[in-house]
Structure 1
Amino acid sequence: MEASVNTGRVRIKSSLYSHWVDRPIRPISLRQLFFFGRTLTESRLLSSANYVRMELPTRIAHRLREMQRLPYVVVTNPHLSTVYELYYKAFETFRRTPVIRTVKENEDFCKVISENLREHLAVIPNLVMGVLECQDLVPPDAMDKFVQAMLRARISRRVIAEQHLALTDTFNSPWHVEQPSAEDEFVGEVLLRCNAKDIIERVGKFTQDICKSLAGPDAIVPEIKIQGHVNATFPYVLSHLEYITGELLRNSIQAVMAKYNNPRQPPPPIEVLICEAPQQVVIRISDQGGGVPREIAPFLWSFNKGPRSAERLQKFRDVPTLAATMQEVRQPAGNKPSGKHRDSSLSTLASRPPDLRLGMGLPMSRVYAEYWAGGLELHSLEGYGVDAFLQISKIGNQNEQLTSRASIDAV
């Protein structure tokens, strides 16, 4: 008998996508992304379109199967049901898309991709609210594995979709035939020479400004001091790096401002050390903000555990914009980070108001760091401060770290 699932609104049969689940996922690396798109021709653009056309339904099919394996009472949660329906709608859309043979057909396909990306901005808030509401129905560790697998797979789909949209924009621009020469050259969404110091300075200034805007004109924000290998560069998706460093700097700035609130006494600086090695770049962000409270420390990387889970759920419910977008609140144009910046699904994620603390910045940041074969660790000395270590693969030759078939089956 065919397996099926009923979310309350949608009932589908596994036979509709079983062969898509059996298809192997074709992972990519940053190096592949920028070498493929660096010399862009019509043939390469259409090849990219057809890769996306086949890869998206394959990856979505794995997520549908994983959601089907949740206990019935969990998958019928209205928030998780919404996620399921969005995924199934996207799966049906992409699996029915015919082979793309012309530039005009690619333009039509890009409109479909853009609409899908817009609709799926509702996935993260609904996923987290559903998980928080169902935290007593599934073992916490199993639920965390489920959320991490869902988020990592979501990143993978948005990367290949947004990369293709960016390549299409480049192809349609009048200068795409020119040889790129700028030091900060983009190939699609990939910035070939991310300079850690420049990005931290830009994101740090932006984060300082929005923290000060909440605390008031008399508040003193801590200085950010950067040292080490300040010329270190590496290929990376800029929006990912800005999100991770933005979350880490936001946490440090807010902790230091909370501990040192005497306007006549400057707070200690946040110290950033950049260390470059042949295979990796490590960024250490150190603060003297008092460290992580003991009752919170065991749950730093969890999406659903911890003493503040009920408070987090209420915050998600209280912010209406989360129903439509994980980008929370768009800041005025003048408050956005300066410098060359492509709009993407993360372009305003870190620009939410400082008082909107959803408790998912660190676990989300780790998922993003590990996606490109990096890592994120945090060492807290209670009563003193925190050292956060962000490890980045320097060469860009590591494939995206997707959840393996065995890991999916184990959830």
Structure 2
Amino acid sequence: MRISTFLCSSQKFTRLTQMLDFYAGFNPSPLSIKQFMDFGQNACEKKSFIFLRKELPVRLANIMKEIALLPDNLLHTRSVSEVNNWYVKSFEEVLEYEKAEPTHDILQKFVQDLDLIRNRHSDVVQTMAQGVIEMKENEGGQVDAPIESSIQYFLDRLYMSRISIRMLINQHTLLFGLNPHSGGRHIGCLDPACDLSDVVRDAYENARFLCDQYYLTSPTLEIQQYSSIADDLFPIRTVYVPSHLYYMLFELFKNSMRAVVEHNQDHCDSLPPLKVSICRGKEDICVKISDQGGGIPRSQSDQLFKYMYSTAPQPSKSDLHTVPLAGYGYGLPISRLYARYFHGDIVLLSCEGFGTDAIIYLKALSDEANELLPIFNKTSSKFYRATVPTGDWSNQSSDMNARQLNATTPKRYNDLGTA
């Protein structure tokens, strides 16, 4: 009995490995916001099923291959092992539909399984963050620069992959689930007429609530809108995923409010306002948040988008599910991934001693807003064997060295591209 069970599990593992290699050999197929919209407006459940049963294992396999390349001291932590098991389980479940006929019962079960997969991966960000903390504790709190660089590279790709997979799952389940969207203007999770100022106000009010709770005060909000398009209507609207934009704004507002209150402690009764400018150009739509929170020194500005850097205390393990991301410092780097997912970006421009401008860039045209997806190949593999470059400038300061390392970011994001 035990021998047959072992043989069965061994055969299962062999087949899983073969399928993982097979699907990792394909590049993901990026979609644009326009393609999401066009399909959603003429939604066909069978076509969506046929696309996802191929695309989901491709995206899962590509990132699973990279998980296997992580340094052993991170890969074998309890938390990262748990995340890896979630991906293996989800990959296996999607493979069950590889050759299934899209009958009514199969389509219904597929939606249910997609819900299970989404829920299973809901804590990936927090659990990976805990894995990094476990690794640092095992290493005595010190992590070599090459390992930190490869972890930064990996987490950007893992979380971007996760955003894209959740986008596909959400679109399918919202369009074809038990309670599909009907009667509203939304197409799945996309809003074809997203009022940017409304999302700004929602994010501000929720961040303000937290700020009032903690500091008993908060800065006010001022919004202005501009457009270079003749006869453009206000408020400015665009096709976008409101939940993605909300996440970015909420994180930026929290940071700005904290900075403004703490920088103006002697004038809490007359805090300078947060000024938001929403601007539409021919190529980009920009949402700029300007604060007078004292700014950020240049020596720290490059650190703000690193997962292993945070100005807040790390949460205890008991807080893992009750206070999502608190103290992990993941808010800004993940916000930037949400912006870059559809080829936008987030940029911070700071004047130390005065304040900071945080700019969210969104593509103005939906057919140019393509998914930015990680691709597993030889180019991506080499970043897990990265070495620290030798300085080639005289009198290099530590912050200049950091910026030199950070200069590899655009190249790495080219590796996330869709070629």
Equivalent pairs counted in the alignment come to 354
- Report the Cα distance in structure 2 between the residues aligned to 1:200 and 1:289, rounded to whole angstroms: 19
1:113-128 to 2 correspondences below 5 Å: 113-128=114-129
State the 1:258 CA deviation: 1.7
- Corresponding residue for residue 294 of structure 2: 290
Which residue of the other structure, out of 264, 268, 278, is the alignment partner of 1:260?
A: 264
Does 2:333 align with 1:358? Answer: no
- Corresponding residue for residue 219 of structure 2: 222
Amino acid at match of 1:159: M
- Corresponding residue for residue 70 of structure 2: 70
- Corresponding residue for residue 193 of structure 2: 193
1:164-243 to 2 correspondences below 5 Å: 164-169=172-177, 176=182, 185-215=185-215, 219-229=216-226, 231-243=235-247
- Corresponding residue for residue 352 of structure 2: 382
- Report the Cα distance in structure 1 between the residues aligned to 2:45 and 2:151, rounded to whole angstroms: 39
- Mind listing any 5+ residue stretches in structure 1 that lack a counterpart? 1-9, 323-327, 330-351
- Report the Cα distance in structure 2 between the residues aligned to 1:189 and 1:256, rounded to whole angstroms: 33
State the 1:378 CA deviation: 0.3
- Corresponding residue for residue 375 of structure 2: 404
Q: Is the 8 A contact 2:27 2:375 kept in 1?
A: no
Q: Deviations over 1:159-199 (max 9, x none)?
A: 000110011148857xx5xxx7x6xx210111111121121
- Mind listing any 5+ residue stretches in structure 2 that lack a counterpart? 1-11, 137-142, 227-233, 384-419
- Corresponding residue for residue 33 of structure 1: 36
Task: Tell me the C-alpha RMSD between the 2 structures.
Answer: 2.4
Which segment is superposed worse, 364-373 or 13-22? Answer: 13-22
Q: Measured at CA, do residues 307 and 37 of structure 1 come closer, stay the same or move farther in structure 2, by a change above 3 Å?
A: closer
1:243-282 to 2 correspondences below 5 Å: 243-262=247-266, 265-282=269-286
- Report the Cα distance in structure 1 between the residues aligned to 2:134 and 2:13, rounded to whole angstroms: 22
State the 1:244 CA deviation: 0.3
Higher helix residue share: 2
3-state secondary structure, aligned to 1:386: strand
Which residue of the other structure, out of 121, 142, 151, is the alignment partner of 1:143?
A: 151
Q: Deviations over 1:326-372 (max 9, x none)?
A: xx46xxxxxxxxxxxxxxxxxxxxxx8xxx44311111100110011
Amino acid at match of 2:110: F
Q: Is the 8 A contact 1:129 1:316 kept in 2?
A: no
Q: Is the 8 A contact 2:191 2:239 kept in 1?
A: yes
The structure with the largest alpha-carbon Rg is: 2
Q: Measured at CA, do residues 307 and 168 of structure 1 come closer, stay the same or move farther in structure 2, by a change above 3 Å?
A: closer
Amino acid at match of 1:139: I
Amino acid at match of 1:226: I
Q: Measured at CA, do residues 115 and 259 of structure 1 come closer, stay the same or move farther in structure 2, by a change above 3 Å?
A: same
3-state secondary structure, aligned to 2:254: helix
Which residue of the other structure, out of 394, 398, 407, is the alignment partner of 2:364?
A: 394
3-state secondary structure, aligned to 2:122: helix
- Report the Cα distance in structure 1 between the residues aligned to 2:161 and 2:202, rounded to whole angstroms: 29
Q: Measured at CA, do residues 370 and 172 of structure 1 come closer, stay the same or move farther in structure 2, by a change above 3 Å?
A: closer
3-state secondary structure, aligned to 1:404: coil
State the 1:273 CA deviation: 0.8
Q: Deviations over 1:230-275 (max 9, x none)?
A: 5221111111010001111111112112222357631000001111
State the 1:59 CA deviation: 0.9
- Report the Cα distance in structure 2 between the residues aligned to 1:393 and 1:401, rounded to whole angstroms: 13
Q: Measured at CA, do residues 316 and 122 of structure 1 come closer, stay the same or move farther in structure 2, by a change above 3 Å?
A: farther
State the 1:62 CA deviation: 1.1
Q: Is the 8 A contact 2:59 2:161 kept in 1?
A: yes
- Report the Cα distance in structure 2 between the residues aligned to 1:377 and 1:363, rounded to whole angstroms: 11
Does 2:96 align with 1:96? Answer: yes
- Corresponding residue for residue 79 of structure 1: 79
- Corresponding residue for residue 303 of structure 2: 299
Q: Measured at CA, do residues 171 and 101 of structure 1 come closer, stay the same or move farther in structure 2, by a change above 3 Å?
A: farther
Identity %: 25
Q: Is the 8 A contact 1:296 1:307 kept in 2?
A: no
Q: Deviations over 1:288-310 (max 9, x none)?
A: 01112566333111112x4759x
